């Protein structure tokens, strides 16, 4: 039937087949893991970019609304100075 050397070659061929199948499976799993990590990193970058845009938009809105504050403060100071002068003049007129 088969000689011992032929049986050895058949067993070695099956071993080579199983070893190559195992190596293929390991490479496939490693590539799948790398792909998942890459997808995660890309998703994190997109989220960070959207957060950065949101913060930048909020900052520009706040800066735009605060640009008028010095003008309002100057006007309020002049108004209160006027009210105080008028109040002093009114109290001085009442004493006379």
CA angle 91, 95, 96 (to 5 degrees): 120
What is the spatial distance between Cα 20 and Cα 8, in angstroms, rounded to a whole number? 18
Q: Over the chain, what is the mean pLDDT?
A: 90
Predicted local distance difference test score (pLDDT) of residue 85: 85
Overall average pLDDT of the 70-95 stretch? 80
């Amino acid at each position: 039937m088969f000689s011992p050397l032929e049986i050895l070659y058949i067993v070695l061929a099956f071993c080579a087949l199983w070893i190559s199948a195992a190596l293929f499976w390991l490479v496939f799993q490693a590539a799948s893991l790398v792909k998942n990590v890459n997808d995660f990193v890309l998703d994190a970058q997109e989220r960070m970019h959207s957060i950065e845009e949101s913060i930048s938009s909020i900052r520009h809105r706040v800066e735009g609304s605060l640009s008028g504050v010095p003008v309002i403060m100057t006007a309020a100071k002049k108004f209160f100075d006027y009210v105080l002068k008028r109040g002093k003049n009114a109290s001085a007129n009442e004493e006379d």
